[in-house]
Amino acid sequence: MDFRLEFTPRPFQQTINHQQQLLLIGSCFTENIGSKLRHLKFSVLENPNGILFNPISIVQSLHSYIENKQYTEADLFYQNECWNSWQHHSRFSHPDKAACLQMINESQQAAHHTLKTAGWLMITVGSAFVYERLGAAAGGLGEGNDSKMVVANCHKIPTDKFNKRLLSPVEIVDAFSIVLEEIFVFNPDVKIIFTISPVRHLRDGFVENNRSKATLIQAVHQLTANHQQLFYFPAYELVIDDLRDYRFYAEDLVHPNYAATNYVWEKFIATCIDENAQQLIKEINTINVAKNHKAFNPLSLAHGKFLQSNLQKVIALKSHHSYLNLHEEFIHFGGIKPA
C-alpha cells in the first residue's frame, strides 16, 4: 500500500551546467538552493539585495541591476541605531552610513555584471502580500515622502506606518512582464526559472497564506506559459503535495527542514542540471567529503597518503574542467600556494 504519492517533475529542455553563471533572487528558500549550488562549484550570486519575499520588491531590484543604480544618502534612513534601505534586507544595515552605502553599491555592481552575463536567473517568490509605506505618516524615514512605496523590509518599524495588502495576479504579471522584457534586451541569452517558496507565511494567517500562494501560482504560470526561456520548478508542490507532512518542517512548523530541503534539491538536480554536470557533481562531492574528513592523527603516514591522493584528484579535475574554482581544495590537500 502506498502512503504518499511521489511527484517527479519533468526535466527541463534546457539545463544548467558549471560553465554558466547563475543569479538567484528571492526568499530564504533561494539561499538554501544557492548554498548547495555554490558548494558544488557552480558560479552563483544570490540575493544581492538580501532576502526578498514579494514580487514587487524583486521586480524593483531587477530594474536596479539592469540600470546599475548606485544608491546615495538620500536612499537611506536612520532607525534603531542603524542606517537602512527600504529596498534591502537588514543584512545591509550598518551604524555607519558610508559603510552601509558601500555594501549596497558593491552588491549592486556585482548584480549588474552577473545579470549581464548570466546563463540562468532563478526567481523565488514567497508572498503576494506587500507593505506600502504611508508617505508623510512615516516622515523622516528616507526617500522623501513617497506614498504607497512598496518596501522590501520593514526594518522593525511599527506596522501602523504601512499599508498591508494582497497583490492581484494581474499586478504581478504586469510588473514582471515589463522587467522581463528589459532583462531579455540586457541579456538575450538568459534563461529564467520561477519557483514559489514552500515556506509558509502563517503570520499572515492560514487562509491568507493560502490566498497568497494561490495568487503567486496563478501569476507565475501565466508568465511561464509558452515562453521558451521561462521555466517553472515546483519546489512548493514538492513540499506541500508530495512530502505533505509536518515532520518535514523545522520546529517552527513554517520552514522546510534539512530532509525536505535535500529532497527538493535532489529533484532540482534531476530536473534542472545538465547530465554531464550531474556526473561532475558526483566527483566534486567525493572531494567535498574528503575535505570534511577529520584526521585522527594528522601527522601519520596514512593521512599524508590520503592528502596526496585527494590532491591528485583535485589536480586531475581541474585539468579536465579549467572553469572550476578548486583553489581552496588545492591548498587544503597540500598544494603549494602561489607566491
pLDDT at 217: 98
Count the alpha carbons within 13 Å of 134 in the hemisphere toward its beta carbon.
11
pLDDT at residue 28, rounded to an integer: 86
Q: What pLDDT sits at residue 170?
A: 97
In the chain, residues under CATH classification 3.40.50.1110 are 21-273
What pLDDT is attached to residue 116?
98
Q: What is the pLDDT of residues 33-79, one digit of tens each?
A: 999 999 999 999 999 999 999 999 999 999 999 999 999 999 999 99
Chunked into runs of 10 residues, the chain (339 residues) has average pLDDT values of 85 96 93 94 97 97 97 95 96 97 98 98 97 65 63 93 96 97 98 96 93 98 93 96 93 93 96 96 95 90 93 95 94 74
Amino acid of residue 119: G
CA-nearest of 38, 116, 9, 22 to 325 is: 38
Query: Which pTM value belongs to this model?
Result: 0.93
Closest to 184 in 3D by CA, of 231, 229, 224, 232:
229
As given in the structure block, the three cell numbers for residue 303 are 593521512
> Helix, strand, coil proportions of the chain in percent (round to 5)?
50, 15, 35
> Kind of pairing, strands 191-196 and 147-151?
unpaired
- Relative to beta strand 162-166, strand 21-26 is unpaired
The pLDDT value recorded for residue 141 is 56
The CATH number corresponding to 21-273 among 3.40.50.2300, 1.10.240.10, 3.40.50.1110, 1.10.132.20 equals 3.40.50.1110
Q: Which three cell numbers mark 159?
A: 506596522
pLDDT for 221 = 97
